Structure 1
C-alpha cells in the first residue's frame, strides 16, 4: 500500500525529528492513495507490504487526505497515536466534511490543515484543528508576524513548511513556530574557510584508506587503535543486531574475516561520518545513510565495480557541506579521497550526477524527475521505488544502532 511514497522531515526547535510528512505518488497532490483490493494485493506481493513504521522509522506520520476519502473511505487500519490527519480542504466549505472530521477526532486522531497565506479568520475552526501549517515561501514574514498571535493564543501547534535555509529556520523559530518542515538542516550554517580540527585527524585518515583500491588492514588497525573511542564504537557498531546477527566480533581483523573487505570499508566510512561533526542534527546523518544505501544498490544494479564501494561512499559523503559548513570544493581539498570519489562529489561524474538528481526527486516527491531518471538509467520506475524503500529501511535500522553514540545537535543562539 505504501510502495510509492516520499517523506519530508519535520523537526523541532532543537533540530530533532518530530515527524515525517508522507507524499504518495498515486494520490492527487500527494494525498493518501485510493487503491482497490486487487491493486493493494499486487503492491503487497511485489513490495512485501512496506508499512508506515518502515517509512517513518517509528516517528509520527503526517498524511494528507482528500475530502471524499475522509467522508466515506477513511482507512480504519491507521493508528491515531502515530498518524496525524492533514486536511486538503476547509471543513466548513464542503458538505459532510465537518461531520467526518469530528468523527475522526473522536477516534483519537489529531487534525492538521494548511493555511499557506495565514488568511483564515475562522476562529470557530480552531477548536477542531490541532496543527496549522504555513508555507513560508508563499507568505511574507511581515504577514506571518501580523497574524501569528491569534494562533498562539488559540493553543494551536504551528508548523512552518518549505524551510530550506538556516536563515528561514532562525526567522521562523523567532516568530514562534513549533516545528519546521524542510531540508534547512542539511544546508551549511555559514560557509567559512577553515581547516578540519586536529582532533579529527584519525577520521580523515580513515576516510582516505577506505576510498583506496588497496586495503591495508594493519594501517587501518593502527589508526583505530590510537583512538580509544573509535575502537569502542567499532566493536559496538559491528556487534549491533542491525549489522551482525550471528557472531560476536572481537577485533577489526576478526570483522574483516567475517564481513569481507568491501563491507568493512562501508562500515568504516559510516563510523567516520558519524564522528566527523559534533554539533549537527542526526537527521543529516540519517539522510546520508539512505543516500549511501540507495547509491550502493543503484551501482550494483548498473554493474559498477564494488571495491572500493564508490556508490556507497558518494551517497554517504554527499551532504558533507551541511555537516562541515564548507563548500564541497574546500572539503575535498582537505580529505585524502581518491580522484574518482572527489570528482563524483564535485558533480563531475555523469553517472553519480544522475543518482543525485534521482535521490533529490525521491526526497521531495518530484515524480516527473523520477520518471526521467528511470529512462536515463534504464531501470524500471517500480524497481527504483523498491530500491529506495530498501534504502529507507536500512537507514532506519542503522540510525537506531548509532543514535546512542551520536552527539546531540546544539542549537546556536540566534
Structure 2
C-alpha cells in the first residue's frame, strides 16, 4: 500500500536547492517503469497532490511536474496548486494551436510553465512569451547551439529563466552558468532520490459507479454525494482537489468547506468529470482495502446518525466527515494537523480531529469508547448526548449495516 516517487533537486547558481522535479516510479527501483507518460503523470497528480500530502517538502520549493500533450489540453494541469507547481511541457508535445491556447490560459491563471527538451528552431516561437523557464538538455545540445539560440531569441526571452539539465561535471556547470543559466539539474548536483508513502486505495466498484453517474446527461448530485461517502479515498481526494480549484480560481488558500455536498455543488459537473477522469486513470489496483478503511466508514455513519439523534443536533454532514477522516493519521503515518492543512473542512470538524474537542468530538469519542469496550464511559457519555447504551448499540448496528451494504472491490 505504498506510492513511490523520485525527486530530483533543482539548484540555483549558488547551489541552493530551490525545487524538485517529480519522476514517477512504481517501486524502489530507480528507473521509469513501462507505462505511458499519461499514466505516469496521472499517478503523480493523484498520489502526490490528492493522496499523500506534500507537506514534507519545504513550502517554498517549486515542484516540476511533467505533462504530456493530451493531459495538458484536457486541463489536468489546472487541478494542481499554481503557487507550487511548474507545469513542464514534455518534449514529445507538438506545438499545436490547441496547446498554445492551453498554455495561454494557464499563464493567465498564474501558472509557471517550463519548456523541456524542445527543438531549438522557430517552432515554439509563439509559446515563448508565456514560458517562465526553458530547460536545456546539455547532453542533446552543445554550448554553442544553446548560446546561439539564446542570442537569436533574446527579444522573446526577456523574462525567462534558463535551466541546464543533465549537468554532470564542474566544467559544464561553470560553462552554462556563464552563459546565463540560473537553474541547474543533474547528477553533478544530485541524483533522483526515491521516496515512498502510504497510499489511499479507492473502491473499484464505487469509482466506476461514480464515473458513470458524473458522466450522465443530467448528473444526480445527491447520488454523487452518496457514492463519495462510501469511499474514504475518494472523499479525501475530492476535498484536496476542491482546495486546489478554489485557490486557482479565487486565490483563496484557507477556504473552509462545510461538507461533501458543498464541495460537489461548488465544483459543478465539468470539474467533477475532470476529477473522476484523473481518479479513474489511476484507480486500477488489486490491493483490497483493509480493516482501517472499514472501521472509518462505520465511524463516519455512526457519527452522522448519533449527531442526528442527540439532544444538541449538530450538523450530520460534519459529523460524518469527523468519523470518516478520524484515522487518516494512522493510514498515512503523519500528524493529523499536517493532513488537515491539505483539505477544506469546517472549523468544527478541524477542532474535533486536530484538537479532540468541540461540539462534534463527543460522537467520535463515543464510538472509540465502544470499540474499546469501555461500557461505563459509553453509558456516561451517551447519557450526556441524550441516549442510553442500548441506543448506542442500535446506532452501531445501523452504521455497520450501512457499511456492509457498500459493494466490495471487484476481484
TM-score by length of 1: 0.39
TM-score by length of 2: 0.39
Rg larger in structure? 2
